Structure 1
Amino acid sequence: MLALIGEALLAYVVIVAVQILINDGLFGLAKVFVQRIRDLPGVDLLIGAVIKREADSFLRQIDSKRSPTVEMSIKIPEKGISHDDLREEMKQLKGEEVNLDDGQIFAYVYTAQNEHYKAMEDAYLAFTDTTGTGTEKGDTDHETLVREFLRAFMHENALNPIVFPALRRFETETAAMAADMLNGDANVVGSLTSGGTESILMAIKTYRDRARSLFPHIKSPEMVAPITIHPAFEKAAHYFDVKIVHVPLDSDFKPNLDKYRQAITSRTILLLASAPQYCHGIVDPIEEIGNIAREKGLPFHVDACFGGFMLPWVEKLGYTVPKFDFRVEAVTSISADIHKYGYGLKGASLILYRNSDIRKYQLFAYSEWPGGLFGSPGMTGSRPGGNIAASWAALRAIGQDGYLRMARRLMEATLALRDGIERIPGLAILGKPEMTAFAIASTDSHLDILALADAMEEKGWRMERQQFPNSLHCTILPHHVTLVDKLLNDLRESAENVRGKKAKGGTAAIYGMVGKIPDKAIVDTFIKQFLSDVYTCKT
């Protein structure tokens, strides 16, 4: 009987092999054979080890052809490097790149070497936002430096890190410096992105693909987040078909931990929190959520796009900052924007992972294109090299001493503003912010906070309105340091002028309308219609 079964199985295998051979040839037969072999225990680990060995060997061959002349950076220097020294390093690193003027490159760069080329550069630089890059008000030298790095590498394309080795170096060293700042070890890896939204998109894509690989039984993945999580996560949830489950806030504007725990189900693939959340400048309870993540065996992403380049320095200055970074063992990834308090150019952000085993789910590869082997670390294909170079330059030029100096000045201005606002009758700061941002609310039913915003805008201020509850958001930036007294005086005067009055028209009318519509899908449709009109050329 057993012999008959064995013969039948052998006959079946032969028939299947012949069919594959007829349809797909020897290569197809070999492909199926390898796929079946990979199902055996331990085989994938062996293949992975061989692949890593070969990839490392290939990279060593490439690197052996170059002799870097600039010392590598894996930490933000204790003292900022002089601009002249950085300019010299830029020249040396630029000299190791492919010379575009030689015409010996056949891809990646599509620019004309003529007056049109120069005109494009001038136009781009003229409209490049460098207002946030100055570490001091009027610090035009730092702005000039980052612009020089931008111009030097603006036509290079990080799509291929082998063709443009300086860009690869800028990116890996910038990630290493940020990882060290956020108390990560040598295993932390990351990617530079076009901004916080792309960093967040890549994090959610990574954890979705990780869940697909490790937990294929989860068909409708979910992630849990406080209601204050940035809308970019809502966009990521929409794009990648991962449901986001919101957790309400307690009176301190932090998520209710009991409800956070209750929101976790068998479909949960990721936990989320902010450091700090943008709305009120308050750091979510990262350690406590980390305990939940460890207990449930779930990955945990911290969105530090807003505070990643400010909180470390605020803590070093002696202010109370809850642990939010890689010191919390359960944290598996962090997003942090260089173009915010890192004082780099728009747009530049980082997504960092605790190790490459997690980061591998972010990467995309396609090996069957006739145009060659294709791989990409992020959402974008072509990536302009200028912002990558400028990010590296910004971290090295400012140094730890520069970041500490700016954090001190901004925190002093922030505390002076918060104290002054609390002294204005009818106004209060929501919660207890840990950083250089806060929200102003009204404690007086006769003082409409939206009317106050309108009055402040008549004085030239551009106020950021918020809801649930209505409030005004303030992020304190270098140019605010000398305006503390003026801002407080204008707030005090405007509060007195609008007391007893209701906001009328404009943004206030829109927020009033939104608050009265229970079906937020209608509001979403209004926002889309508004955006459609805004981005339509009308004569």
Structure 2
Amino acid sequence: MRTDGVPAPDVRRRIAAELADDVPWTRVLNSICTEPHPLGVEMASSASHTNLGDVRIFRGTKRIERRVVQLLLDLVANPGGSGNLVSGGTEANLIAMLVARESARGKGRLTHRPEVVVSSTVHYSFTKIFGLLGLTPVVVPVDDALHLPAGEVARRITEHTVAVIATAGSSEFGVVDAVDEIGPAVSGRDVHLHVDAATGGFIIPFARELGHDLPQFDFSVDGVDSITIDPHKYGLAPVPAGAILFRGAQDAGQFAFDSFFVDTPAHHTLLGTRPGAAAVATFAVLEHLGRDGFRDITRTNFEVTGYLADGLRAAGHELLAEPQLNIVVVKMPGATRISQRLESDGWIVSTSKRFGETLRLVVNRHVTREVVDAFLPALERARREVAAGVEVVLR
């Protein structure tokens, strides 16, 4: 830190120069986040001083957080449930697994080797979580359509099982597990069923209303105990804004830590100091857009996804799987070098470490037909140049 301060105009110029090097959204086809809604940005700025870790001071902000949780519970068909806003999917998933483990302990079911049944494509956040909590994953291979098979889940449940994880919108492939089949297979087994809907939570409800054939994933499915949902992804809220939601009205209270101070409520999240701006921004976006607004955005995202998939097929490419959500995975020999070549030209896409020779392309609000029209020729140029041995130089 400098001894003397820097004038504000100089600080602004230096920061602006660094931010100018960020890739513009119109060249990003790998992100399940997007440019947040302007109203959310505005309201986040107005609440940038707030801290949900001290609700004796920030009383109105706390009420807004409770309203956001209620809106999210309504979205997932459980107005009588409970939950909390968190930093994102990783924290939400961690809290769900903590609750599952401690619930098993309270019932006398926690063995020396607690296990969690997961798919072979479960999100990598769980690798961190299992290590932290001492949980052993029981990995079930996905089927040919990349889904977690309900019958195999039921067969893998033993006296050691404390939880099953289903994914309602894989961030890697955009596929949705058949939660409506997994739920009944788990129900009655005294095992916590958690649904990771960080990616699909703000897509599936509206896509189903539009007539897309997607499995139901929410609390209307018998057996579902908790759901992760991320407003900072397809919910258009600024980062960080996630949520962990539970079936029962008191279930969120199973994860609680007291403070040192009289009259300071227990914390129900991992973070102590929490940005109230996230709650305020999320509330603003949800209230402003409503179901109609999100349905319209979802309709456009699916139209662009179809436009992108059609363009790839017309160019002779084969998709790894038919996209259920707004993620297109295309088979691509030399995928890593093609991705690097695209990045050297300013385009950002993804390649899978686990499923090589594929490119992952994500459609979010910033990806329009015009962006697709610019991207597809760039992809073909990159593919030809890589095949010709053109050197890839990354910054």
Q: Is 2:84–2:252's contact at 8 Å kept on the other side of the alignment?
A: no
- Asked if structure 2 preserves the Cα contact closer than 8 Å seen for 1:448 and 1:501, the reply is no
The correspondence of residues 463-478 of structure 1 with structure 2, limited to 5 A, is 463-470=349-356, 471-478=358-365
Match of 2:65 in 1: 171
Cα deviations by residue, 1:479-522 (Å, 9 ceiling, x for unpaired): 21131211222223333443476997979xxxxxxxxxxxxxxx
Superposed CA offset, 1:178-233 (max 9, x none): 1111222x321110001111111111111111111112552321111112111111
Tell me, in whole angstroms, the C-alpha distance in 2 between the residues paired with 1:505 and 1:489: 20
C-alpha distance 499-295 of structure 1, shift in aligned 2 (>3 A): farther
**Residue 490 in structure 1 maps to residue 381 in structure 2:** no
Q: State whether residues 341 and 392 of structure 2, in contact with CA within 8 Å, keep that contact through their aligned partners in structure 1.
A: no
Write the deviation string for residues 432-491 of structure 1: whole angstroms up to 9, x where unpaired: 22111121213xxxx322232233223321121103321222211222113121122222
> TM-score with structure 2 length normalisation?
0.85
CA deviation profile, 1:362-398 (whole Å, cap 9, x unmatched): 22236xx477766101001111211111111111122
Mark the runs of 5 or more structure 2 residues left unpaired by the alignment.
Answer: 26-33
Match of 1:402 in 2: 293
Mapped partners of 1:140, 1:282: distance in 2: 23
Change (3 A) 1:432 1:327: farther
1:415 matches 2:302:
no
CA distance 1:286–1:505, shift in 2 (3 Å): farther
Equivalent residue letter for 2:91: E
State the AA in 2 paired with 1:395.
Answer: L
1:476 partner amino acid: V
The answer to whether the Cα contact below 8 Å between 2:232 and 2:238 also exists between their aligned partners in 1 is yes
Q: CA deviation at 1:256?
A: 3.9
What's the % identity of the aligned pairs?
27
Match of residue 455 from structure 1: 341
- Contact in 2 for aligned 1:363/1:377 (Cα 8 Å): yes
Aligned to 2:31: none
Select which of 313, 323, 328 maps to 1:433.
Answer: 323
Q: CA deviation at 1:152?
A: 2.3
Give the letter for the 2:352 counterpart: Q
Structure 1 window deviating more from structure 2 (228-237 vs 254-263): it is: 254-263
SS of structure 2 residue aligned to 1:360: helix
Cα pair 1:283 1:433 within 8 Å, conserved: no
Read off the aligned partner of 1:355 and give its amino acid letter.
G
Counterpart for residue 30 of structure 2: none
Matched, 1:336 2:229: yes
Q: Tell me, what secondary structure is at the counterpart of 2:166?
A: strand
Task: Give the letter aligned to residue 436 of structure 1.
Answer: N
Residue 267 of structure 1, CA deviation: 0.7
> Using a 3 Å threshold, how does the CA distance of structure 1 residues 429 and 384 change in structure 2: closer, same or farther?
same
Q: Name the amino acid aligned to 1:289.
A: I
Q: How does 1:60-75 map to 2 (within 5 A)?
A: none
- What's the offset of the Cα at 1:268? 0.4
Shift of residue 141, structure 1, vs aligned partner: 11
User: 1:318 aligns to what?
Assistant: 211
**Contact 1:451–1:501 (CA under 8 A) maintained in structure 2:** no
Query: Matches of 1:330 and 1:247 in 2, distance apart?
Result: 19
Give the Cα separation in 1 of the matches to 2:340 and 2:37.
35
Residue 274 of structure 2 corresponds to which residue in structure 1? 383
Change (3 A) 1:291 1:388: same
User: Cα distance, 1:411 vs. partner?
Assistant: 0.7
One-letter identity of the residue aligned with 1:385: G
Letter in 1 for 2:50: E
The answer to which structure, 1 or 2, has the higher relative contact order (CA under 8 A, 6+ apart) is 2
Structure 2 counterpart of 1:264: 157
1 CA distance for matches of 2:240 and 2:389? 41
Give the number of the structure whose residues are more often helix, by fraction: 1
C-alpha distance in 2 between matches for 1:387 and 1:354 = 23
The answer to whether the 8 Å contact 2:36/2:236 transfers is no
**Contact 1:448 1:503 survives alignment (8 Å):** no
- Supply the distance in 1 between the matched residues of 2:106 and 2:179 (Cα, whole angstroms): 27
Residue type of the partner of 2:374?
A: K
> Following the alignment from structure 2 to structure 1, what is the Cα–Cα distance between the partners of residues 264 and 47?
25
- Given that 2:227 and 2:245 are in contact with CA atoms closer than 8 Å, whether structure 1 keeps it comes out as yes
| Runs of 4 or more above 6 Å deviation | 502-507
1:217 to 1:390, Cα distance in 2 relative to 1, 3 A: closer
Q: How does 1:2-401 map to 2 (within 5 A)?
A: 142-143=37-38, 145-184=39-78, 186-365=79-258, 369=260, 375-401=266-292
Paired residues of 1:437 and 1:476 also in contact (CA < 8 A): yes
The alignment of Structure 1 onto Structure 2 pairs a total of residues equal to 373
CA distance in 2, matches of 1:260, 1:428: 30
Residues in 1 aligned to 2:58 and 2:346: alpha-carbon distance in whole angstroms: 45
Shift of 1:168: 1.5
Q: Do the aligned partners of residues 293 and 505 (structure 1) sit closer, same or farther apart at CA in structure 2, a change above 3 Å counting?
A: farther
